[in-house]
Amino acid sequence: MKRVVVTGMGAITPLGNSVNELWENILAGKSAAGPITKFDASKFKTRFACEVKDFNIEEYIDKKETKKYDLFTQYAIAAADQAIKDSGLDFEQMDEVGRYDVGVIWASGNGGISTFEQQLKEYNGGDGTPRFSPFFIPKLIVDIAAGAISIKHQLHGPNYCTVSACASSNTAIISAFDTIRLGKAKVMIAGGSEAAVTEGSVGGFSSAQALSKNNENAEQASRPFDVARDGFVMGEGAGALVLEDLEYALERGATIYAELVGTGMAADAYHLTGTHPEGLGAVLGMKRALEEAGIEAKDIEYINAHATSTGIGDISELKAIKKVFGDLPVAISGTKSMTGHLLGAAGAIESIISVLSVKNDVIPGTINTTELDSAIPEGLNIILGKPVCQTVNYCLNNTFGFGGHTATSLFKKYSA
Protein backbone atom coordinates (compact mmCIF):
# COMPACT_ATOMS: atom_id res chain seq x y z
CA MET A 1 0.00 0.00 0.00
CA LYS A 2 1.10 3.57 -0.72
CA ARG A 3 1.97 5.93 2.14
CA VAL A 4 -0.17 9.08 2.28
CA VAL A 5 0.99 12.49 3.51
CA VAL A 6 -0.56 15.93 4.03
CA THR A 7 1.17 18.60 1.93
CA GLY A 8 -1.29 21.49 1.91
CA MET A 9 -4.15 22.93 3.96
CA GLY A 10 -6.74 25.67 3.62
CA ALA A 11 -9.42 27.02 5.94
CA ILE A 12 -12.38 29.40 5.96
CA THR A 13 -13.64 29.47 9.55
CA PRO A 14 -15.35 31.56 12.22
CA LEU A 15 -11.88 31.97 13.75
CA GLY A 16 -10.29 33.33 10.59
CA ASN A 17 -10.11 32.83 6.85
CA SER A 18 -6.75 31.09 6.71
CA VAL A 19 -5.03 28.20 8.44
CA ASN A 20 -2.65 30.56 10.25
CA GLU A 21 -5.50 32.68 11.65
CA LEU A 22 -7.40 29.58 12.71
CA TRP A 23 -4.39 28.11 14.52
CA GLU A 24 -3.43 31.37 16.23
CA ASN A 25 -6.96 31.82 17.58
CA ILE A 26 -7.19 28.17 18.66
CA LEU A 27 -3.99 28.57 20.69
CA ALA A 28 -5.28 31.88 22.07
CA GLY A 29 -8.46 30.16 23.28
CA LYS A 30 -10.77 32.52 21.39
CA SER A 31 -14.50 31.88 21.07
CA ALA A 32 -16.07 32.66 17.69
CA ALA A 33 -19.66 32.73 18.96
CA GLY A 34 -21.80 35.83 18.60
CA PRO A 35 -25.24 37.08 17.53
CA ILE A 36 -26.56 35.75 14.23
CA THR A 37 -26.28 38.37 11.47
CA LYS A 38 -27.32 36.30 8.43
CA PHE A 39 -31.04 36.59 9.21
CA ASP A 40 -33.37 38.09 11.81
CA ALA A 41 -33.17 35.57 14.65
CA SER A 42 -35.02 37.67 17.21
CA LYS A 43 -37.94 35.21 17.44
CA PHE A 44 -35.77 32.08 17.49
CA LYS A 45 -34.95 30.15 20.65
CA THR A 46 -31.28 30.22 19.62
CA ARG A 47 -30.08 33.60 18.40
CA PHE A 48 -26.31 33.10 18.11
CA ALA A 49 -23.81 31.08 16.08
CA CYS A 50 -20.18 30.97 14.98
CA GLU A 51 -20.30 32.81 11.65
CA VAL A 52 -17.54 33.34 9.09
CA LYS A 53 -16.57 37.00 8.98
CA ASP A 54 -15.05 39.22 6.28
CA PHE A 55 -15.20 36.54 3.61
CA ASN A 56 -14.72 37.78 0.04
CA ILE A 57 -15.25 35.15 -2.65
CA GLU A 58 -14.02 37.59 -5.29
CA GLU A 59 -10.50 36.91 -4.06
CA TYR A 60 -10.91 33.43 -5.57
CA ILE A 61 -13.34 33.67 -8.51
CA ASP A 62 -14.68 36.36 -10.83
CA LYS A 63 -17.68 38.32 -9.59
CA LYS A 64 -19.83 37.02 -12.48
CA GLU A 65 -19.17 33.45 -11.37
CA THR A 66 -20.45 33.96 -7.82
CA LYS A 67 -24.13 33.76 -8.81
CA LYS A 68 -23.58 30.15 -9.87
CA TYR A 69 -22.56 28.99 -6.40
CA ASP A 70 -24.24 28.65 -3.04
CA LEU A 71 -22.18 29.91 -0.11
CA PHE A 72 -21.13 26.38 0.87
CA THR A 73 -19.51 25.96 -2.56
CA GLN A 74 -17.89 29.39 -2.33
CA TYR A 75 -16.32 28.38 0.97
CA ALA A 76 -15.15 25.12 -0.64
CA ILE A 77 -13.51 26.86 -3.60
CA ALA A 78 -11.68 29.28 -1.30
CA ALA A 79 -10.39 26.63 1.12
CA ALA A 80 -9.31 24.34 -1.73
CA ASP A 81 -7.48 27.21 -3.45
CA GLN A 82 -5.59 27.93 -0.24
CA ALA A 83 -4.65 24.27 0.22
CA ILE A 84 -3.44 23.93 -3.38
CA LYS A 85 -1.33 27.07 -3.09
CA ASP A 86 0.05 25.88 0.24
CA SER A 87 1.02 22.52 -1.28
CA GLY A 88 3.10 24.14 -4.00
CA LEU A 89 1.24 22.23 -6.72
CA ASP A 90 1.04 24.13 -10.00
CA PHE A 91 -1.68 22.60 -12.13
CA GLU A 92 -1.08 25.10 -14.94
CA GLN A 93 2.38 23.60 -15.41
CA MET A 94 0.97 20.06 -15.33
CA ASP A 95 -0.20 18.50 -18.59
CA GLU A 96 -3.67 17.01 -18.94
CA VAL A 97 -2.40 13.47 -18.43
CA GLY A 98 -0.78 14.51 -15.15
CA ARG A 99 -4.08 15.95 -13.99
CA TYR A 100 -5.74 12.57 -14.54
CA ASP A 101 -4.04 11.54 -11.29
CA VAL A 102 -5.43 14.42 -9.21
CA GLY A 103 -8.92 14.09 -7.74
CA VAL A 104 -11.36 15.80 -5.40
CA ILE A 105 -13.56 14.29 -2.70
CA TRP A 106 -15.58 16.97 -0.96
CA ALA A 107 -18.23 16.75 1.74
CA SER A 108 -21.17 18.65 3.13
CA GLY A 109 -23.99 17.67 5.40
CA ASN A 110 -26.53 20.23 4.17
CA GLY A 111 -25.26 21.42 0.79
CA GLY A 112 -27.02 24.47 -0.64
CA ILE A 113 -29.63 24.83 2.09
CA SER A 114 -29.65 28.64 1.92
CA THR A 115 -30.37 28.48 -1.81
CA PHE A 116 -33.18 25.99 -1.18
CA GLU A 117 -34.80 28.23 1.45
CA GLN A 118 -34.44 31.39 -0.59
CA GLN A 119 -35.92 29.91 -3.77
CA LEU A 120 -38.90 28.40 -1.97
CA LYS A 121 -39.57 31.71 -0.20
CA GLU A 122 -39.68 33.46 -3.54
CA TYR A 123 -41.97 30.81 -5.01
CA ASN A 124 -44.35 30.70 -2.03
CA GLY A 125 -44.42 34.48 -1.82
CA GLY A 126 -45.40 34.87 -5.45
CA ASP A 127 -48.50 34.00 -7.48
CA GLY A 128 -47.62 30.33 -7.83
CA THR A 129 -45.83 30.75 -11.14
CA PRO A 130 -42.61 28.70 -11.00
CA ARG A 131 -39.84 31.26 -11.51
CA PHE A 132 -36.88 29.27 -10.29
CA SER A 133 -33.32 30.24 -11.09
CA PRO A 134 -31.60 28.06 -13.71
CA PHE A 135 -28.83 27.71 -11.11
CA PHE A 136 -31.23 26.43 -8.42
CA ILE A 137 -30.39 22.74 -8.71
CA PRO A 138 -26.64 23.14 -9.37
CA LYS A 139 -26.39 25.47 -6.38
CA LEU A 140 -28.39 23.09 -4.20
CA ILE A 141 -26.90 19.64 -4.78
CA VAL A 142 -24.26 18.46 -2.33
CA ASP A 143 -21.78 17.12 -4.90
CA ILE A 144 -21.43 20.42 -6.75
CA ALA A 145 -18.55 21.70 -4.58
CA ALA A 146 -16.35 18.77 -5.64
CA GLY A 147 -17.31 19.43 -9.23
CA ALA A 148 -16.62 23.17 -8.97
CA ILE A 149 -13.13 22.59 -7.54
CA SER A 150 -12.23 20.12 -10.29
CA ILE A 151 -13.59 22.40 -13.03
CA LYS A 152 -11.67 25.42 -11.72
CA HIS A 153 -8.38 23.53 -11.70
CA GLN A 154 -9.10 21.08 -14.57
CA LEU A 155 -8.58 18.00 -12.41
CA HIS A 156 -9.66 14.70 -13.99
CA GLY A 157 -9.10 12.21 -11.17
CA PRO A 158 -11.80 10.63 -8.94
CA ASN A 159 -14.44 13.22 -8.11
CA TYR A 160 -17.43 12.86 -5.81
CA CYS A 161 -18.94 13.89 -2.48
CA THR A 162 -19.43 12.08 0.81
CA VAL A 163 -22.43 12.68 3.06
CA SER A 164 -22.49 11.23 6.55
CA ALA A 165 -23.90 14.21 8.47
CA CYS A 166 -21.31 15.63 10.88
CA ALA A 167 -18.83 12.87 9.97
CA SER A 168 -18.95 13.87 6.29
CA SER A 169 -15.59 15.61 5.79
CA ASN A 170 -13.69 13.07 7.86
CA THR A 171 -15.27 10.43 5.63
CA ALA A 172 -14.06 12.41 2.60
CA ILE A 173 -10.52 12.44 3.95
CA ILE A 174 -10.69 8.69 4.63
CA SER A 175 -11.99 8.05 1.09
CA ALA A 176 -9.18 10.16 -0.39
CA PHE A 177 -6.65 8.25 1.74
CA ASP A 178 -7.94 4.93 0.42
CA THR A 179 -7.91 6.20 -3.18
CA ILE A 180 -4.22 7.10 -2.97
CA ARG A 181 -3.22 3.98 -1.04
CA LEU A 182 -4.78 1.80 -3.73
CA GLY A 183 -2.87 3.66 -6.46
CA LYS A 184 -5.97 5.20 -8.06
CA ALA A 185 -4.62 8.76 -7.74
CA LYS A 186 -1.39 10.49 -6.77
CA VAL A 187 -2.98 13.60 -5.29
CA MET A 188 -6.41 14.14 -3.71
CA ILE A 189 -7.99 17.36 -2.47
CA ALA A 190 -10.31 16.42 0.37
CA GLY A 191 -12.39 18.32 2.88
CA GLY A 192 -15.81 19.74 3.54
CA SER A 193 -17.83 22.93 3.72
CA GLU A 194 -21.02 24.07 5.35
CA ALA A 195 -23.11 27.24 5.21
CA ALA A 196 -26.02 26.26 7.40
CA VAL A 197 -26.56 29.37 9.51
CA THR A 198 -30.03 29.70 7.99
CA GLU A 199 -33.55 29.98 9.34
CA GLY A 200 -34.46 26.42 8.44
CA SER A 201 -31.27 24.85 9.75
CA VAL A 202 -31.14 26.79 13.02
CA GLY A 203 -34.88 26.30 13.53
CA GLY A 204 -34.72 22.60 12.76
CA PHE A 205 -31.75 21.82 15.01
CA SER A 206 -33.32 23.93 17.75
CA SER A 207 -36.59 21.97 17.53
CA ALA A 208 -34.55 18.78 17.84
CA GLN A 209 -33.20 20.14 21.16
CA ALA A 210 -29.66 20.02 19.74
CA LEU A 211 -28.67 23.71 19.94
CA SER A 212 -27.58 25.68 22.97
CA LYS A 213 -30.05 28.37 24.01
CA ASN A 214 -27.56 30.26 26.15
CA ASN A 215 -28.22 33.52 24.30
CA GLU A 216 -27.09 35.75 27.16
CA ASN A 217 -23.68 34.10 27.36
CA ALA A 218 -23.02 33.13 23.75
CA GLU A 219 -19.21 33.19 23.87
CA GLN A 220 -19.21 30.60 26.66
CA ALA A 221 -22.11 28.51 25.31
CA SER A 222 -19.98 25.86 23.61
CA ARG A 223 -18.66 24.02 26.67
CA PRO A 224 -17.80 20.38 25.98
CA PHE A 225 -17.96 17.99 28.95
CA ASP A 226 -19.29 20.72 31.28
CA VAL A 227 -22.10 19.88 33.67
CA ALA A 228 -24.01 22.96 32.43
CA ARG A 229 -23.72 22.31 28.68
CA ASP A 230 -27.04 22.58 26.88
CA GLY A 231 -26.33 21.84 23.22
CA PHE A 232 -23.98 22.69 20.38
CA VAL A 233 -23.29 26.06 18.78
CA MET A 234 -23.79 26.21 15.01
CA GLY A 235 -20.70 27.01 12.95
CA GLU A 236 -19.93 27.42 9.27
CA GLY A 237 -16.96 27.40 6.91
CA ALA A 238 -14.67 24.98 5.13
CA GLY A 239 -11.48 22.99 5.56
CA ALA A 240 -9.32 21.47 2.80
CA LEU A 241 -6.36 19.11 2.86
CA VAL A 242 -4.09 18.09 -0.01
CA LEU A 243 -3.20 14.41 0.41
CA GLU A 244 -0.42 12.88 -1.68
CA ASP A 245 1.31 9.63 -2.42
CA LEU A 246 4.52 9.97 -0.40
CA GLU A 247 6.74 9.01 -3.34
CA TYR A 248 5.17 11.68 -5.53
CA ALA A 249 5.45 14.30 -2.77
CA LEU A 250 9.15 13.54 -2.26
CA GLU A 251 9.78 13.53 -6.00
CA ARG A 252 8.49 17.07 -6.37
CA GLY A 253 10.08 18.31 -3.12
CA ALA A 254 6.84 19.04 -1.29
CA THR A 255 6.70 20.21 2.31
CA ILE A 256 5.12 17.47 4.41
CA TYR A 257 2.98 18.43 7.43
CA ALA A 258 2.14 14.93 8.68
CA GLU A 259 1.32 11.42 7.55
CA LEU A 260 -2.18 9.91 7.57
CA VAL A 261 -1.63 6.33 8.73
CA GLY A 262 -4.93 4.92 9.93
CA THR A 263 -8.68 5.35 9.56
CA GLY A 264 -11.78 3.74 10.97
CA MET A 265 -15.45 3.93 10.09
CA ALA A 266 -18.36 2.25 11.82
CA ALA A 267 -22.03 2.64 12.75
CA ASP A 268 -23.79 2.92 16.09
CA ALA A 269 -26.86 1.25 14.50
CA TYR A 270 -28.81 2.67 17.41
CA HIS A 271 -30.82 5.88 16.84
CA LEU A 272 -31.59 8.46 14.15
CA THR A 273 -29.96 11.35 15.98
CA GLY A 274 -28.62 10.09 19.30
CA THR A 275 -25.27 8.38 19.78
CA HIS A 276 -25.03 4.91 21.28
CA PRO A 277 -24.99 5.40 25.08
CA GLU A 278 -21.86 3.26 25.42
CA GLY A 279 -20.21 4.66 22.28
CA LEU A 280 -20.25 1.38 20.35
CA GLY A 281 -19.56 2.90 16.91
CA ALA A 282 -16.86 5.18 18.30
CA VAL A 283 -15.10 2.23 19.93
CA LEU A 284 -15.09 0.31 16.66
CA GLY A 285 -13.89 3.31 14.65
CA MET A 286 -10.98 4.08 16.96
CA LYS A 287 -9.92 0.43 17.20
CA ARG A 288 -10.02 0.08 13.41
CA ALA A 289 -7.88 3.21 12.97
CA LEU A 290 -5.29 1.86 15.42
CA GLU A 291 -5.29 -1.53 13.71
CA GLU A 292 -4.86 -0.03 10.25
CA ALA A 293 -1.97 2.11 11.48
CA GLY A 294 -0.34 -0.92 13.09
CA ILE A 295 0.02 0.75 16.48
CA GLU A 296 -1.36 0.32 19.98
CA ALA A 297 -3.52 2.59 22.14
CA LYS A 298 -0.48 3.55 24.24
CA ASP A 299 1.09 5.23 21.18
CA ILE A 300 -1.60 7.94 20.94
CA GLU A 301 -0.76 11.21 22.69
CA TYR A 302 -3.79 13.32 21.71
CA ILE A 303 -7.44 12.86 20.74
CA ASN A 304 -9.29 15.75 19.13
CA ALA A 305 -12.72 14.74 20.37
CA HIS A 306 -15.99 15.26 18.50
CA ALA A 307 -17.22 16.90 21.72
CA THR A 308 -20.18 18.96 20.53
CA SER A 309 -21.45 19.98 24.00
CA THR A 310 -24.54 17.79 23.80
CA GLY A 311 -25.55 15.85 26.88
CA ILE A 312 -25.55 12.28 25.60
CA GLY A 313 -22.95 12.77 22.85
CA ASP A 314 -20.10 14.00 25.04
CA ILE A 315 -20.53 11.24 27.59
CA SER A 316 -20.86 8.41 25.06
CA GLU A 317 -17.65 9.51 23.32
CA LEU A 318 -15.73 9.65 26.59
CA LYS A 319 -17.04 6.20 27.54
CA ALA A 320 -15.78 4.94 24.20
CA ILE A 321 -12.37 6.53 24.76
CA LYS A 322 -12.21 4.92 28.21
CA LYS A 323 -12.96 1.51 26.70
CA VAL A 324 -10.22 1.84 24.09
CA PHE A 325 -7.55 3.63 26.15
CA GLY A 326 -8.34 2.61 29.72
CA ASP A 327 -6.13 4.50 32.18
CA LEU A 328 -3.59 5.63 29.58
CA PRO A 329 -2.82 9.37 29.95
CA VAL A 330 -3.85 10.31 26.39
CA ALA A 331 -4.77 14.01 26.21
CA ILE A 332 -8.32 14.86 25.12
CA SER A 333 -9.71 18.25 24.09
CA GLY A 334 -12.73 19.70 22.31
CA THR A 335 -11.88 22.49 19.89
CA LYS A 336 -15.54 23.02 19.01
CA SER A 337 -15.54 25.07 22.22
CA MET A 338 -13.88 27.74 20.03
CA THR A 339 -15.00 27.12 16.44
CA GLY A 340 -18.53 25.95 17.12
CA HIS A 341 -19.80 22.88 15.29
CA LEU A 342 -19.21 23.14 11.55
CA LEU A 343 -21.43 20.09 10.88
CA GLY A 344 -20.24 18.44 7.65
CA ALA A 345 -17.07 20.57 7.64
CA ALA A 346 -16.12 19.78 11.25
CA GLY A 347 -13.95 16.76 10.47
CA ALA A 348 -11.82 18.69 7.97
CA ILE A 349 -11.27 21.66 10.28
CA GLU A 350 -10.41 19.36 13.17
CA SER A 351 -8.09 17.32 10.94
CA ILE A 352 -6.21 20.55 10.20
CA ILE A 353 -6.00 21.26 13.93
CA SER A 354 -4.84 17.67 14.53
CA VAL A 355 -2.15 17.93 11.85
CA LEU A 356 -0.86 21.19 13.33
CA SER A 357 -0.86 19.65 16.79
CA VAL A 358 1.34 16.83 15.49
CA LYS A 359 3.59 19.18 13.55
CA ASN A 360 4.05 21.70 16.36
CA ASP A 361 3.84 19.44 19.44
CA VAL A 362 1.02 21.47 20.95
CA ILE A 363 -2.31 20.20 22.32
CA PRO A 364 -5.10 22.82 22.20
CA GLY A 365 -7.18 23.26 25.31
CA THR A 366 -10.93 23.14 25.81
CA ILE A 367 -12.32 26.56 26.71
CA ASN A 368 -15.50 27.47 28.67
CA THR A 369 -15.57 24.19 30.62
CA THR A 370 -15.46 24.94 34.35
CA GLU A 371 -17.06 21.91 36.03
CA LEU A 372 -16.81 18.46 34.49
CA ASP A 373 -19.97 16.37 34.33
CA SER A 374 -19.96 13.73 37.09
CA ALA A 375 -21.07 11.14 34.50
CA ILE A 376 -17.64 11.31 32.82
CA PRO A 377 -15.58 8.16 33.44
CA GLU A 378 -12.77 8.65 35.95
CA GLY A 379 -9.12 8.84 34.98
CA LEU A 380 -9.44 10.68 31.65
CA ASN A 381 -6.91 13.39 30.83
CA ILE A 382 -9.16 16.21 29.56
CA ILE A 383 -7.19 19.35 28.71
CA LEU A 384 -9.04 22.44 29.95
CA GLY A 385 -8.07 26.07 29.43
CA LYS A 386 -4.68 26.80 27.89
CA PRO A 387 -2.84 24.65 25.34
CA VAL A 388 -0.27 22.14 26.55
CA CYS A 389 3.16 21.79 24.94
CA GLN A 390 4.19 18.16 24.67
CA THR A 391 5.36 15.70 22.04
CA VAL A 392 2.55 14.56 19.76
CA ASN A 393 3.64 11.70 17.52
CA TYR A 394 0.12 10.39 16.94
CA CYS A 395 -3.25 12.14 17.03
CA LEU A 396 -6.76 10.72 16.60
CA ASN A 397 -9.58 12.84 15.19
CA ASN A 398 -13.11 11.63 15.99
CA THR A 399 -16.30 12.64 14.17
CA PHE A 400 -19.86 11.36 14.52
CA GLY A 401 -23.05 12.11 12.60
CA PHE A 402 -26.82 11.78 12.78
CA GLY A 403 -27.70 8.30 11.58
CA GLY A 404 -25.04 6.71 13.77
CA HIS A 405 -22.11 7.37 11.41
CA THR A 406 -18.65 7.36 13.01
CA ALA A 407 -15.34 8.23 11.35
CA THR A 408 -11.87 8.40 12.90
CA SER A 409 -8.64 9.53 11.23
CA LEU A 410 -5.17 9.01 12.70
CA PHE A 411 -2.29 11.36 11.92
CA LYS A 412 1.40 10.67 12.59
CA LYS A 413 4.44 12.90 12.75
CA TYR A 414 6.19 12.40 9.43
CA SER A 415 9.55 10.67 9.29
CA ALA A 416 11.32 9.22 6.27
Which strands sit side by side in the sheet containing 405-412, from one edge to the other? 159-162, 102-107, 187-194, 237-245, 4-12, 258-267, 405-412, 394-401, 302-304, 331-333, 381-382
CATH code, domain with 326: 3.40.47.10
For 364-389, b/e burial (b = at least 16 CB within 10 A) is bbbbbbeeebeebeeebbbbbeebbe
Q: What percent of the chain has pLDDT over 90?
A: 95
Is 146 within the bounds of a domain?
yes
Let me know how long the chain is.
Answer: 416
Is 258 within the bounds of a domain?
no
pLDDT of the residue at 236: 98
Q: Domain check: are 68 and 186 in the same one?
A: yes
Q: Domain check: are 240 and 106 in the same one?
A: yes
Q: Domain check: are 214 and 329 in the same one?
A: no
- Choosing from 50, 161, 166, 395, the catalytic residue is 166
Residue 211 pairs in a beta bridge with 232
* Domain that residue 326 falls in: 263-412
pLDDT of the residue at 249: 97
The 3-state DSSP class for residue 60 equals coil
Is 257 within the bounds of a domain?
no
Q: Domain check: are 269 and 367 in the same one?
A: yes
pLDDT 10s digits, 91-104: 988 888 789 999 99
Cβ pair 281, 400 in contact under 8 A: yes
Q: Domain check: are 246 and 339 in the same one?
A: no
Q: Domain check: are 78 and 116 in the same one?
A: yes
Provide the number of structural domains found in the chain.
2
Cβ pair 234, 203 in contact under 8 A: no
Cβ pair 73, 60 in contact under 8 A: no
For 269-301, b/e burial (b = at least 16 CB within 10 A) is eeeebebbeebbbbbbbbbbbbebbebeeeebb
pLDDT 10s digits, 326-344: 999 999 999 999 999 999 9
pLDDT of the residue at 285: 98
**Catalytic: 389?**
no
Give average pLDDT by consecutive 10-residue segment, the chain, 416 residues. Answer: 97 98 98 98 98 98 95 98 97 87 98 96 86 94 98 97 98 98 98 98 96 98 98 98 98 97 97 93 98 98 98 97 98 98 98 98 98 98 98 98 97 94
Q: Where in 13-53 does DSSP place strands (E)?
A: 34-35, 48-49
**Residue 385: DSSP 8-state:** S
Q: Domain check: are 230 and 275 in the same one?
A: no
Closest to 37 measured CA to CA, from 226, 218, 302: 218
CA 283: distance to chain centroid?
Answer: 20
* Last residue in a domain, options 251, 282, 298: 251
Gyration radius of the chain's alpha carbons: 20
Q: State the amino acid at position 378 in one-letter form.
A: E
